[in-house]
Amino acid sequence: MSETAPEAPDTGLDQRVGALEQGQQSILSRLDQLLTGPADEPAGPERPEVNIVDEIRKQLDERDRKAKPKTEPAAKAAPEPEQPPVPPVLRRHKIMGWAE
């Protein structure tokens, strides 16, 4: 008995695998370019690099300065004394017309 496997007919599998590997390499190289970004382009006057955290803090500080009252608020009015709860009107009084 022979222990060697019979050779499969060539179906172009090697060509398909090679094309897929080339495509994958192309995609990975483009992804690397996108993630790293162009290192040769310095920030120009059209798009100055701004730290977004500093920009947000600056805007929040401006908002807080505008929102601060310039004078102390007027003294709060004295709260009204609590009224005792009004007893509910009974249904039979409503029906009889005794409810006011």
pLDDT digits (tens, 9 = 90+) for 57-94: 899 899 888 887 666 656 677 788 888 998 899 999 98
Distance CA(69)–CA(61), nearest Å, equals 14
Per-residue pLDDT reduced to its tens digit, 17-60: 999 999 999 999 998 888 887 655 555 556 666 678 888 889 98
Contacts of 93 (CB under 8 A, 6+ apart): 99
Dihedral-angle region of residue 37 (phi above 0 means left; psi in -120 to 50 means alpha; beta otherwise): left
Q: Where does residue 86 fall: left (phi above 0), alpha (psi -120 to 50 degrees), or beta otherwise?
A: beta
pTM beyond 0.85, yes or no: no
CB atoms within 10 A of CB 4: 5
Fill in the DSSP letter of residue 46: T
What residue type is assigned to position 26 of the chain? Answer: S
pLDDT exceeds cutoff 80 at 4 = no
